[in-house]
Homo-oligomer: A and B are copies of this chain.
Amino acid sequence: MDEKSSFNMQGPVCPRPIRQWSNVMLGHGSGGKMTEDLIKTVFYPAFSNPILDQGNDAGVFTVGDSPGESRWAVSTDGHIVTPLFFPGGDIGRLAICGSVNDLAMVGARPAWMAANFIMEEGLPMDVVERVAASMKAAAEEAGVLIVAGDTKVAERTKVDKLFITTTAFGRIPNGRQAGGQNARSGDAVLLSGPIGDHGIAVLAARGDLAFEVQVESDIAPLNHLIEAMFNASGQIHVLRDPTRGGLGTTLNEIACQSEVAVLLDEQAIPVRPAVRSACELLGFDPLYVANEGKLVAMVPEEDAERVLKAMRAAPYGGEACRIGEIAEAPQGRVLLRTALGSTRVVTKLSGEMLPRIC
């Protein structure tokens, strides 16, 4: 694959983050390059520690001394999606699944959650009740208990209706070592289903589109799917849910963390026709549209078929497929073999495409 090496010449790979903005911009919430710059130039210098610096979806730490020691994980997510209700979900289901999934992506079993509500004065109480009922249903589906909560109220116009922050935590069973830094050359890249549903569904619900789209958000708790995957293989190297920033950004993060190349086959990446049509009309690349019920996994080639089979039999994994492989070089790059047979570099999302998608 001679053409790959030339990509090393196209500017820096895994560039150093830059502190180049004097004000917070919408792009800093995109989940893409600007979010990374913000986190790495403002928050890491203040909070840096070996746990946080792992840069995964959840922080992993060890409690106690061997042999009684156990590994724990914690993840937190603020949810500011607008509108609060959309086809396939709402901010309540999102708040549960978002944190459950981030935790499950490091191999942890989500068990306990804390939930925090910031409400706008005047918000109909019925809305709060509908959201709480949705959270209850999602928490039951995921098998987590909400053990702590807090509510705050801000004056009209000081917060947009309702923000929910959730924090999930649980233990990581012994032997699991899933993390963005663990992709290995030769690994198969698996995807649990079609991409872009969540972003397009939320955008359509805003009523800003000049055309009709029939797409439901894919919001779902993926912890049971992940248990099925670990039951099929003890060698799940990487798990990550491509939320803000989409699959393209997520794979770039992994390529940099693991210092490998991700080689994708564009034709193997499933996109629903309605999502593809909407993206074409909007000028979006589905690779950067947010998902809330999908995961990408990297597993050794010899386990790939067994893991895929387990995924397809598990909740929310029915459309799982193989979309590519991991190579040694060019390090830190994601390359897409297009339907036309050419190869293009997939970079991280820069700027902001869809603010407040989660």
Taking a contact as CB atoms under 8 Å apart, the answer to whether A74 and B147 are in contact is yes
The residue of chain B having its C-beta at the shortest distance from the C-beta of A114 within the complex is B76
B155 and A355 contact, CB distance less than 8 A: yes
In the assembled complex, the CB of A149 is this many whole angstroms from the nearest CB of chain B, namely 6
Q: How far is the CB of A241 from chain B (nearest CB, A)?
A: 14
Residue numbers in B under 8 Å from A157 (CB-CB)? 157
Contact with B along A158-187 (1 / 0, CB 8 A): 111001010101010000000000000000
Indicate if the CB atoms of A153 and B355 lie closer than 8 Å.
yes
A101 to B296, CA, bound (A): 39
A232 to B242, CA, bound (A): 51
B23 with A124: CB separation less than 8 A: yes
Q: How far is the CB of A219 from chain B (nearest CB, A)?
A: 17
Query: Is A208 in contact with chain B by the CB < 8 A criterion?
Result: no
Which of A78, A135, A146 gathers most chain B CB within 10 Å? Answer: A78
Counting CB contacts under 8 A, is A281 at the interface?
no
Q: Which of A34-42, A256-264, A310-318, A341-349 contacts B (4 or more CB under 8 A)?
A: A34-42
- Residues 10-31 of A contacting B (Cβ, < 8 Å): 19, 21-29
Known: A24-B125, A47-B135. A116 touches B148 (CB 8 A): no
* Contact A145/B51 with A153-B28, A356-B154 known, Cβ cut-off 8 Å: yes
Q: How far is the CB of A337 from chain B (nearest CB, A)?
A: 34
Do B119 and A29 touch across chains, with their CB atoms under 8 A apart? Answer: yes
The residues of B that contact A268 with a CB separation of less than 8 Å are none
Which residues on the B side are within 8 Å of A167 (C-beta)? Answer: 74, 76, 114, 116, 148, 167
Q: Choose the segment among A57-65, A197-205, A210-218, A245-253 that binds chain B (4+ C-beta atoms closer than 8 Å).
A: A57-65
Q: Which among B118, B145, B155 is the interface contact of A49 at CB below 8 angstroms? A: B145
Is A331 among interface residues, defined by CB-CB distance under 8 A? no
A2 at the interface (CB under 8 A from B): no
User: Are B169 and A169 in touch, CB under 8 angstroms?
Assistant: yes
Question: Is A136 a contact of B46 with CB atoms below 8 Å?
Answer: yes
B165 and A23 form a contact (CB under 8 A):
no
Do A153 and B26 have beta carbons less than 8 Å apart? yes
Verify A78–B132 contact, CB threshold 8 A: no
Chain B residue at minimal CB-CB distance from A35: B151
Q: A3: CB under 8 A from chain B?
A: no
A228 CB to nearest B CB, Å = 24
Residues of A125-148 contacting chain B, CB below 8 A: 125-126, 128-129, 132-133, 135-136, 139, 145-148
Determine the distance from Cα of A42 to Cα of B135 in the docked complex, in whole angstroms.
12
Contacts of A46 in B (CB 8 A): 129, 132-133, 135-136
A120 at the interface (CB under 8 A from B): yes
8 cross-chain pairs, A with B, having the tightest CB-CB distances, nearest first = A29-B153, A59-B147, A76-B114, A46-B132, A167-B167, A165-B165, A59-B148, A158-B160
Can you identify 5 A-B contacts, CB atoms within 8 angstroms? Answer: A47-B149, A49-B147, A52-B146, A52-B147, A74-B147
